[in-house]
Structure 1
Amino acid sequence: MPKRTIDAFVFDLDGTLLHTLPDLIAVTNESLRHFGMPEHDDAAIQSFAANGAVALMLQAVPNNCSPELAQEALAYWKATALDHGALLSRPFPGVVETLGRLHEAGKQLGVLSNKFQAGVDDQLAHNLPDLFDVALGDGSVPRKPDPTGMLETARRLGVAPERMAYVGDSVGDMQAAVRAGALAVGVTWGYHPVEQIKAAGADMLLDTPEQLLTLI
């Protein structure tokens, strides 16, 4: 693949920039306990986590749960996440240093996540403050794999989509990047199988965040 000129680097949040799974597990099972519903093990919650809080909770609640109760559980999940949903989350090793190097190189930085917008803002404020030029989540733009959010991120950053790299750990991340014309960069340290990420159209795979610096 010929090397592209990349002016902006945009990232998924959960499983890409931040190891948020411990908080997702804690908040999800607390929400289920609150409503007297069965809890899930870590692997199950990880498998639910690709498409944001709505998809996570709709999969976590029992199959016979009414739509109304599922929405109550989702609202409780969001409130609980904002109360203590960033306590256990941390940047993956090498992320902070890599973001600093990209910033020093004059690159625009963004976040595009399927997490609800207030949750995106809360996680960034706790773990990666003052690093990003734009950060969009569910409620501000449609969820990935819809490419609308990718295109809106490019517009806000003032770059053409084809001069933007999108870094993520899921099939939906890669599909959204490909559909928008961005460089699709998959990571191997996230929450989803690498073979699925490759099959979804990843242009390149990273084993460490520092490998992203080859694009500057």
Structure 2
Amino acid sequence: MCSPFYEDPTRIARVLIARPAPFRPDWYGRREEETTILKNDTLKIDAAIFDLDGTLIDSIAAYVELAEEMFRRLHLPPVSGKVILERIRDTKDNWANLFAVEEMREGLMEEAAAIYKEISPRLFTADVKMLPGSGSTLRKLSAAGISIGLVTSTHSRSMDGKLYPLRENGLMELIGATIAIEDTQRIKPHPDPLIECAKRLGVSPERSIYVGDSHSDIRAGKSAGMKAIGVLTGMDNYETLKREDPYMIIDSVAHLSRAVHY
């Protein structure tokens, strides 16, 4: 039996336009006065390296919607957005983490991969945008002569769709190096991808910052010898980030000027 998406290929577009308000973590959009800045000084750096999902692009709701569609089409009991994020928080494109042990069955991962391959390009292209202020921050950093890199746990095969918001806004020309999950043997929270990114940019990790939205980003940044800066626009809340003792926590990339001199 064909899936509803094959029977009506326009359905996905209608779902994207007419769906309810997207899922947001409780801490998303935290008011500025609630955010604690952990350091009062500003840094002088050679490079700013960023995580992608929930840091530069507003993709968290898209992941939740994609997972919900997987559960529906795989005839599995639905789970909450919060549970979905808990399961995929470290490697969002590794859908094996999405399913509980009792939900696994023969052929499930192959079916899930097919659903992801079918839906994700349209979903991310139609629905994922730059987070407010992130584009202008990248432009200001570049204009100040600061090198810019991306480190993500996204697979290379998915990068084209993930980078669409940056291409659409003319930002890819500012990116000096992009590290996907296959580019190093170990992934975040290990420091390897960040160190590789700094190497490709031709900068010292000690003169770099790493900005991300999750505890694994903070651990990776600190392990790489970089100043790790947390943002509250993605996977983890303030308390979770603070436990990792980052250099600073800010509301979003739009407020990076509080941490970095440029």
8 Å CA contact 1:102, 1:213 repeated in 2: no
Instruction: Decide whether aligned partners of structure 1 residues 54 and 99 sit closer, same or farther in structure 2, where only a CA change above 3 A counts.
Output: closer
Q: More deviation in 103-112 or 18-27?
A: 18-27
Q: More deviation in 111-120 or 172-181?
A: 111-120
Pick from 59, 72, 81: which aligns with 1:20? 59
| Partner deviation per Cα, 1:63-107 (whole Å, 9 max, x = no partner) | 224475353145225413234333211111111111111111111
Distance (Å, rounded) in 1 between the aligned partners of 2:108 and 2:151: 26
CA radius of gyration, larger in: 2
2:239 alignment partner in structure 1: 195
Distance (Å, rounded) in 2 between the aligned partners of 1:204 and 1:53: 24
Q: More deviation in 81-90 or 145-154?
A: 81-90
Alpha-carbon shift at residue 139 of structure 1 (Å):
2.0
Instruction: Decide whether aligned partners of structure 1 residues 87 and 22 sit closer, same or farther in structure 2, where only a CA change above 3 A counts.
Output: farther
1:140 alignment partner in structure 2: 183
8 Å CA contact 2:88, 2:97 repeated in 1: no
Find out whether 1:105 has 2:148 as its counterpart. Answer: no
Distance (Å, rounded) in 2 between the aligned partners of 1:210 and 1:33: 36
Distance (Å, rounded) in 2 between the aligned partners of 1:46 and 1:156: 31
What is the number of residues matched between the two proteins? 214
| Partner deviation per Cα, 1:14-48 (whole Å, 9 max, x = no partner) | 11111102211222122222322223222222323
Give 5+ residue unaligned stretches, structure 1. Answer: none
Distance (Å, rounded) in 2 between the aligned partners of 1:94 and 1:4: 20
Alpha-carbon shift at residue 116 of structure 1 (Å):
1.8
2:76 alignment partner in structure 1: 37
8 Å CA contact 2:153, 2:187 repeated in 1: yes
2:107 alignment partner in structure 1: 69
Instruction: Decide whether aligned partners of structure 1 residues 70 and 132 sit closer, same or farther in structure 2, where only a CA change above 3 A counts.
Output: farther
Pick from 222, 229, 237: which aligns with 1:178? 222
What TM-score, normalized to structure 1? 0.88
2:21 alignment partner in structure 1: none
| Partner deviation per Cα, 1:132-170 (whole Å, 9 max, x = no partner) | 111222222332101110110010010011111000011
8 Å CA contact 2:76, 2:103 repeated in 1: no
Instruction: Decide whether aligned partners of structure 1 residues 54 and 120 sit closer, same or farther in structure 2, where only a CA change above 3 A counts.
Output: closer
Instruction: Decide whether aligned partners of structure 1 residues 35 and 182 sit closer, same or farther in structure 2, where only a CA change above 3 A counts.
Output: same
Distance (Å, rounded) in 2 between the aligned partners of 1:150 and 1:77: 31
1:128 alignment partner in structure 2: 166
Residue type at the aligned position of 2:91: G
SS of residue paired to 1:201: coil
8 Å CA contact 1:151, 1:161 repeated in 2: yes
Alpha-carbon shift at residue 120 of structure 1 (Å):
3.0
8 Å CA contact 1:23, 1:87 repeated in 2: no
Residue type at the aligned position of 1:58: A
Q: More deviation in 39-48 or 85-94?
A: 39-48
SS of residue paired to 1:156: helix
| Partner deviation per Cα, 1:112-139 (whole Å, 9 max, x = no partner) | 1112223233221x20122311122222
Alpha-carbon shift at residue 211 of structure 1 (Å):
2.7
Q: CA RMSD in A?
A: 2.1
Give 5+ residue unaligned stretches, structure 2. Answer: 1-38
Residue type at the aligned position of 2:73: H
